[in-house]
Chain A
Amino acid sequence: MSRILDMMDRHTSGRTGKRHNTTMAIIHRSGKPFKWQRKHLLGLRDLSVEEIEYILDTATGFEQISTRSVKKAPPLRGKVVVNLFFEDSTRTRASFSLAASRLSADVMEFTQKASSVSKGETLLDTARNLEAMGIDIVVIRHSAAGVPMLLSRNIKACVVNAGDGYCEHPTQGLLDAYTIRQAKGSLEGLKIAIVGDIAHSRVARSDMWAMTKLGAEVTFVGPPTLMPAEVGRLPVKVSYSLDKVIEEVDVVNMLRIQFERIGGNLFPSIREYSRYFGLTVERVKRAKPNILVMHPGPINRGLEIESEVADGPNSVILQQVTNGLAVRMAVLFLVNQAAAETPV
């Protein structure tokens, strides 16, 4: 592979036998040390393989902050992170808040319902007003695709996309890739099924970009009515039958049925959907014994996934949540580093 040519020298310690990284820099194929240069994380589509791997490698260093007694480190001390959420979210917002707090940033929570947006203020006015208070990083979620990019072009602060429309949810894609890498060692050559409502899923898209760039083969699985119109142009296979793919895949990522986005007529009934596309105990029995079961949450127990499977030995659903924190810490750290390189 002509990726990262020199992935850091490694040596084996005679004392413990464990492997360590010992040299300083990752060398890019251009021969120069790799350097993170993006002050915004808008999506994974435009990221290089090196950039994705760099985020995942960085996240490894943040994992342990959450397990020690003082769950805090100082790299964002004196920085202000704003959570600007125009859509409901529990897990992602809590995860970003906690990630920012653990890096010692001050965190300001901002929701549409309790703000001037409900008084008619435009998005950019809201953002500029927040910026006038001296903020450093905006984490934004919005129901319209492209809003994070619009914002990044109009304010000086770093922008991190926490989900825009059906476009991208980059930190979810990163944490899913991180979780698979942690469990399987690498994504190279793995077969991964993403199952469910692909058309309305930004998670499916970000997952697809991260996983295919890292060398996995991704199959979108779901009823034709829930496939995106442009699926033929995406780097994925498509299957309309979970039964046909379940035996060959290494990873299955079950998407939530998004009742709030789906009109009533995309599939005949929830029971029928569940029968054909639900991850049941019986289906897991037919799969590879070490199949990795994932779900971005929140789960509809008994619909897209049976409780026994969600809580079973193949499930890494809660590990995804834990890893999400490390990945978001890494992202906040890196965009802030890039901003430090280019003072405004």
Chain B
Amino acid sequence: MKVILDAGQIDRTIEHLADEIGEQTSSCNESAIIGVRSRGEILAERLAERLSRKLGRQVPCGTLDITLYRDDLNAPHGDSQPLVRTTEIGFDIDNKTIILVDDVLYTGRSTRAAMDALMDLGRPRAIRLAVLVERAGRELPIQADYAGYKADVGPEQSVQVNFVESDGKDEVIVT
């Protein structure tokens, strides 16, 4: 196990992401942040808070559960059976630029599921992808618009993002 980002580095990375997103969305009023359950939800809330401060207006923030849109539902899951939870988006996504937020971008399959789930909720003007950690291994033609940290890890390794809210500690580890 190796820590690739500690709490301070995660904080600066999120600040950086918020700066970058802020620069490109300040011109358009209609943007919103939507996090993919479960770690993306926490990241989205932190991003929305900083972005709201930078832009001087409240940026709406919601949570998306993508379980029903996963492409591996009909495959055996071992011990990690997917649990269906709620999507909580308290605003209309039509014609908004949606910043889709997830903790790690790896195969791109979660992102595909998230985009399909979003399309069933309305017709956003655009969807942008923001992730804390990006790693190699894409299986679909998907890339991040905003990537906080590019991790150089092999296919045999896994990247785990921990947050205080869910895991008691902010850190990104490779195992």
Contacts and interface: CB of A to CB of B under 8 A. Distances in A.
A and B: real partners? yes
Given A72-B120, A73-B120, A343-B76, A15 B83 contact: no
A23 B41 CA distance: 11
Contacts of B77: 337, 340-341
A73 B76 contact: no
Contact of B79 (A22, A35, A340): A35
Given A22-B38, A23-B166, A61 B80 contact: no
A214 to B, nearest CB: 19
A337 B122 CA distance: 28
Interface string B73-91: 1111101111111111000
Given A70-B121, A75-B73, A340-B73, A25 B80 contact: yes
A22 B45 contact: no
B86 A73 contact: no
Contacts of B166: 9, 11, 22-23
A24 B80 contact: yes
Interface in A55-104: 57-58, 60-64, 68-70, 72-75, 103
A340 B78 CA distance: 11
Most buried by B among A61, A62, A333: A61
Contacts of A341: 76-77, 81
Most buried by A among B67, B88, B166: B166
B66 to A, nearest CB: 10
Interface residues of B, number: 35
Contacts of A23: 38, 166
B65 A61 contact: yes
B81 A15 contact: no
A35 B83 CA distance: 9
A298 B165 CA distance: 47
Looking at chain B's contact residues, the main secondary structure is loop
B45 A15 contact: yes
A257 interface: no
A25 B86 contact: no
B126 to A, nearest CB: 19
A96 B86 CA distance: 21
Nearest to A73: B68
Interface residues of A, number: 39
Given A13-B45, A70-B120, A74-B69, A58 B84 contact: yes
A32 interface: yes
Nearest to B39: A22
A20 interface: yes
A9 to B, nearest CB: 6
B61 interface: yes
Given A68-B120, A70-B120, A341-B76, A61 B84 contact: yes
A330 B83 CA distance: 11
Given A68-B121, A74-B68, A24 B38 contact: yes
Contacts of A14: 45, 49
24 contacts: A9-B166, A15-B48, A15-B49, A15-B61, A20-B88, A22-B38, A22-B166, A24-B80, A25-B83, A32-B79, A35-B81, A61-B68, A61-B85, A62-B84, A63-B86, A64-B86, A70-B121, A73-B69, A74-B69, A75-B68, A75-B73, A330-B84, A340-B77, A341-B81
Q: Report, nearest first, the 5 A-B pairs whose CB atoms are least far apart.
A: A61-B84, A22-B166, A73-B68, A70-B120, A11-B165
Interface of B: 38, 41-42, 45, 48-49, 61, 63, 65, 67-69, 73-77, 79-88, 116-117, 119-122, 165-166
